[in-house]
Structures are given as C-alpha cells and as structure tokens.
Amino acid sequence: MPLDNSAHICTAAAVLTAAVCFQGWRILNKPESKRTATERSAVIVHGITGLIGNTPLIRINSLSDATGCEILGKAEFLNPGGSSKDRIALYLIEQAEKSGQLVPHTDSCIFEGTSGSTGISLAMVARAKGYLCHIVMPSDQAIEKSQLLERHGATVERVAPCSIVDKNNFVNVARRRAAEYGADDKSGTRRGYFVNQFENPLNSDAHYRSTGPEIFQQTNGHIHAFVHGSGTGGTIAGVTHYLKQQVPGIMSFLADPQGSGLANKVNHGVMFAATEREGTRRRQQVDTLVEGVGLNRLTRNFANLLKPMQGDSKGKCMLDGAVSVSDRDAVRMSRWLMANDGLFIGSSGAINCVTTLHVARRLGQGHTIVTILADSGQRHLTKFWNDQAMVSLGHDVNAPATLDIFEQQ
C-alpha cells in the first residue's frame, strides 16, 4: 500500500536528522587543526589555539581587475595572534610536547630569536598551554612588536643588530638563554626550549601540513603560481613543496626585499645584493624597511628549496624565479592596497603583492596566483606605516594613481 504524505514527511525528516547528526559527529571527531572554517563555525573550539589556521583566501580586486588574473591573498593576519606565525608556534610546541621536550605547567620556558611576529605567536600559545616565554629580538624592529609581546606576558630582550656569526646575534642569544635556563634544576622538569625557527625543519613541515593543503582545497587545485617571501624560509618551502606535489606545472616565485641576497641566489646562483657594495649599506643584516623577510645567508628551510624535488630528472630547484622589490615599491603597494582595496597590510605582504603583480604580467591573463598576507599594518605603525618617517627617507606616501608606476622586471 503506498505511503501517505505524512509517512513521506516522517521518512524524509528521519533521513535529514540522521544526516545532520552524522555531519555533526564527523566534525566533532575531526581534529581542530583539520576542520575547515565553516566546520569550526559550527562547533565550539577548545581555547585560542583552536582558532589557528583555516584562514580565508580573498580576491585582491584591484590587482585582479588590472591584470586579468585571479590574484588571491591568504589572509593570515586573521589568525588569533595576528600572523601566519601562529601555525608554526602551535605545531612546534605540540611536537616538542610529543617528544617529551616540553611538559606544561612545570615552569618551563620557550625561547626564540625573532623579528617579532613569531615571538608574539609563541607568547600567545605558551600562555594558553602553561609555559613561560622569553623572546630576543633586534632593537631596530618596530617598538609595537615589543609592546605586544609584553602584553602577552613574554619577557622581551632587545639586542643590537649584528651578524649571525656574532655571539650576540639575537638568535644566538636566545639559544644561549635556553641552555642556561633550568640548568640548576636537579629534577630536570624545569626546562628551556629553544624553538630555532630558522633551522628547524618542523617549521616548513607545519606549512606543508596546513597552509599548503588549505590553499589547494580553497582553489580546488586551480592554481598556476604561488608567491611568497622568505625570512626563515618555512612558509615558502612548506607550501611550495606541497603544491608542487599536487598541481603539475605550478610555479613558485620568491618575493625578496632590497638588501637581501636571496633573489640573486635563486636567479643567478650567487648570494648578492646591491646594497652590499662597500660604502652603500645603511643597516645591519638586510638593508630594507621591510621586516621579517630577507636574508644574506641560507637557512636550512630555504636551502631545501634550491634542491630538485624527488623524482625530478631535470634537477631543477623548486623555485621558478625571484623578484627583488625596492623599498619604494613596497611603500607604494601598501598605500595602493589601502586606497583601492581597504587592505591594511604589513611590509612583507606589500612585497608579496608587488611580486605577484610582476608574475601576473609575465604569465598573462587568465592565471590564478596565490600569495600570503602575513600580518596587518597594525604591527608597523611606528615605521613602515609612519608617513613622516617614510617621507624623511624620501618615499612618496600617497597612493599611486596607476599600477603602471611599479618598476617593470
């Protein structure tokens, strides 16, 4: 006998209820780090670390419309700690816990040398997980980064900028402080843990496991190029490695600030920057306004990009080119994006967008290019986003009238 309408309705309701329950069960049993942003919005996350990752991918309208490409920025500034460094802070601490190097609520302390953003992320995660945090940073970084670190409960030690070979380099000081900490604790429970983001391969592994897969999923694999700068080399190494395994023919380009030798290393095989010429250098380490990216040495994470991928018979490195971006163009791009897109980004995001513009012009219309917007301009108010300071250095802080002003490369 055929079912009446009420029976049909009851059957449909039962099926729908079962589907909803299954979907809820599936989300709740998936690790927070693997949930999509939509899935996370349907559940209550466990603490501040549950908000890390799964950042949106946004179309940068002004650059996309001008080039005929889809230029997409991964909004890493929307992580709870304000930058992409939240990812490595959580991942590296969790891996240290798994290996027994860190145990929460034992008065143990996390140490790192950083230009600021990694330190802020580490301080946030450390506080949430029950650790102390001690950050060593160069004294020429924006003061608001130190202030944010202190508000997160970290001990901040600012040291004079100097070469990595100097024992007083900020990285070397952090390593030494970690070794000294807990040395008098006979129980061995009070430990100092040195993160070592520049040389720790878990740095790139964090992005291989999170940022790369997210970009692939968000673009449905329809992506032709990836653009990013290199500080530690972790993000560009991890994302490039993952995407090149997933998307045949995808290209990866380095965005490099002036004063850094990495672009020349990628393009010509020699570490060199024009500001390294005798008598032209104004600043220690890398002569640029841009903070957080650019080096004149190879970190372990970045060096892996210069090797061919496994199975590549041609022996090519994983990077397809590099663009050296002047401070002038970095300032111009930041003001352009604010005026035309309402995007208030930091200095590393600005050089990423300049490089993305060059890559779009090189590839031509119809391509999809993804870059990283690592942090917001709020961390650069006293320097990069201080108009008076920029004008004193000879930079025009007015938004350009056209993208044609950017130097052709």
329 close to 384: Cβ distance less than 8 angstroms: no
SS (H, E, C) 319-367: CCEEEEECHHHHHHHHHHHHHHHCCCECHHHHHHHHHHHHHHHHHCCCC
Q: What digits encode the pLDDT tens for the residues 230-267?
A: 989 999 999 999 999 999 999 999 999 999 999 999 99
| Residue 211, pLDDT score | 98
**272 vs 223: CA distance, rounded Å:** 31
Q: Which of 74, 85, 129, 383 is catalytic?
A: 85
| Residue 18, pLDDT score | 54
Count Cα atoms within 13 angstroms, Cβ side, for 44. Answer: 2
SS (H, E, C) 65-94: HHHCCEEEEEEHHHCCCCECHHHHHHHHHH
In Å, how far are 14, 229, 266, 293, 304 from 263, measured between CA atoms?
Answer: 60, 10, 5, 12, 15
The CA radius of gyration of the chain, in Å to the nearest whole number, is: 23
- Asked if 85 is an active-site residue, the reply is yes
User: Which regions of the chain are under pLDDT 50?
Assistant: 1, 3, 20-21, 278-283, 285
| Residue 164, pLDDT score | 87
Nearest to 116 by CA among 93, 90, 84: 84
pTM: 0.86
Q: What digits encode the pLDDT tens for the residues 2-43?
A: 545 555 555 555 555 555 445 555 555 566 556 666 666 667
**204 vs 179: CA distance, rounded Å:** 24
**158 vs 138: CA distance, rounded Å:** 6
